[in-house]
Structure 1
Amino acid sequence: MADAKVIPFGEEPRSRRAARSGGAAGTGGGAKKDAAGKRAQGPGPHALSSVPDQPDGVEDSMGGDDAKKVPSQPGEPQPVTPRAEGAEEPEAASPEPEPEPEAEPAPGGGAWDRRLAEGFAFLRRRVTGDYEVDEFGYDKDLTEQVLMSLIRPLYANYFRVEVKGIENIPSDGGALVVSNHSGTLPLDGLMMQVAVHDNHPAGRHLRLLAADLVFMLPVVNELARKAGHTLACAEDAERLLERGEIVGVMPEGFKGLGKPFGERYKLQRFGRGGFVSTALRHGVPIVPCSIVGAEEIYPMIGNSKTLARLLGFPYFPITPTFPWLGPLGALPLPTKWTIQFGEPIPTDGYPPEAAEDPMLMFNLTDQVREQIQHTLYKLLVQRRSVFF
């Protein structure tokens, strides 16, 4: 027997490399011929010494793409294609563990926990006196935690207020919001206050100027002060604007609040334009505001002037439900509201003496009034229903 040629492990015979390259470039018949040639040639002596005999029917899976499945004969060694130098053995793929199902939180549990924590923190601040009240009596902590929370369900669920043009209120600095006034009871001012705080990106607070009657009533007086309202006078308005606050004013006053149902959405006189003079002195923008929906909450079909004089009220309303149904008649109708803040009217371009010019004040007052009235008509045309 001739001496066998020793082939180092990892080095393939030249004839096999040639046959493989030829088989890859040729057709399927060439691949079969190459596989048969490899079967006849057999492995080198190193492969024979390292691989044990395989049982019958084992497939040769190490021969590459051109390998052919050939059943092995008893006692015949199986060819093994040497692995290239430096190549790592393939590791068996281990099955990925299935992720454990996450525990679902109890519905609403996080919200209730947060509310309880905020409530206890509020009580602790009230007991320890860790809160501030400004010179007007405004208690920001009490307003945000309690008063707003009491008004918000009426705002969001009962009247379903829709707010438009909130971006017209500046993010910082003072501004004067001028709005129409209606509804027999001044709920429109409260809804406007919630609308500014809950919808403005900076969460700003609206400081309303209220009539003298508000601060003459025993309980209402204290609540109005705590909520940030102050007397409707030029001095208080100027002090708030100097501090960079958003000030709200309703120039119609009781004339708009107590007008008959037949005159709904028709603006009354705006007084002598004192709000324009205040805005001119401080150079703050005037933001017109139009409110639709408040006129129908208490349809005022009559006014008992005798009772109004006895009680010291500017009017005593008679509606389809009040006073006939007693306290139940004081429940407002669930109308759908829309509050739209219009394009601001700048006043910083006027000289300081412009605040004393009666003609300029008259023109600006008329401009604000016309803009509010035009927006009211526009919103009424777009409204589908009083209640939807």
Structure 2
Amino acid sequence: MNLSEDRNESGWQNAVIIIPALLSGVTLIVVAIIFWKLICKKKSKKQRLRDETDADCAVNAGGVYENSLDPSDPVLEKKQLPGHWTVEHKVVLCSGHFGPISRGVLCCPGETEDGRHVVLKELSEHCSPGEVQDFIDIMKFYVQVCNHDSLIKMLWCQTTRRPPSLIMKAMSCGNLLTCLRSSREGVQALEGAVPRITEKDVYSMALQVAGGLEYLSGTHDLLHGYVAACNVLLHDDLSVQLCGLGLAAVQYRTGSFPARKAAQVPLKWQSPERLKGADITEKSDVWSFGILLYEMVTLGSPPYPDLEPSQVPSKLKRKYRMERPALCGHRLYEVMTNCWQWEAPLRPCFTDVVKQLQNASDQADGQRPVTGADALSWGEYMRVAGIPS
């Protein structure tokens, strides 16, 4: 082999090595450029979102709701608080999802009668535009849906004055769960003695709640989603109204039940199908109504008092059910167990629940007060009930 041939062979070998190396290098450079562009694009998007959020905060910090509020909305116009009426003597009760919740007195200048006690829910100036719209939608929900005596009602709303607010009737005894536990022997409510509750009173309150739930499901095809004593309000004449209607309001607005929010309901009030992540129906509320009956007839004892919340699903699957409370009649307990049928189709609808309660109420004890067996503190109650503190 001569010198020229050696050089040609050497050049060919070098080309075989160099060309793939160059191609690999070019490929790496192209990939690096693509990644760099993607990163820049993502950073730009994040910055834009920050700018939009900052702009929203700047608007809401001044309490400006003009982009979301329509004072001439025909649904709310007829419920606007008259301009010369005011809510006086406000006392903040708690901080709600949208802003402060207060108790006060609705006053109309020139009237000689004492003002009406009301609950005022106000919209915080720091709410986002989306939350403002949700607040308005809830007002509309109260106007269009809550037209049953057993559902909490909105008396008036304010969208022409700041802050936007809705005004509701105040029930003299407040939350039913608190009243049940306060009615135990030797315990007084904040505003005086809570009425002693008999089994006949339990039937009366249960019929009112069942009637409200029958109206929600039958007239509007809506679910409550958290039927429990903590979501019932009590008046001193033992009339009750169902509250905690946030899940129903979302379903009314969107057409679908908010499964993620519904999953936040404590396990001990959830039906088996909810625990399994299946669809929620009227029969799911019926199951929870049976738990409410247990709460009422035991004066606010936590459901499944001998079980930790995490034990409930597996025990229910093995056909475990709570025993009949000491002062609970057999017919009332039969209504409970009908509500606790494992298969949802086997449970009664609320129309049937109302009929069962009406048929059994004549034999209820109207003399002897029901009692609660446990002596749990509120903190211990929350733990046993599985309610986040």
User: TM over 0.5: same fold?
Assistant: no
Structure with bigger RCO (C-alpha 8 Å, 6+ apart): 1
TM-score, normalised by the number of residues in structure 1: 0.29
Determine which structure has the larger helix proportion and give its number: 2
Higher CA-based Rg: 1
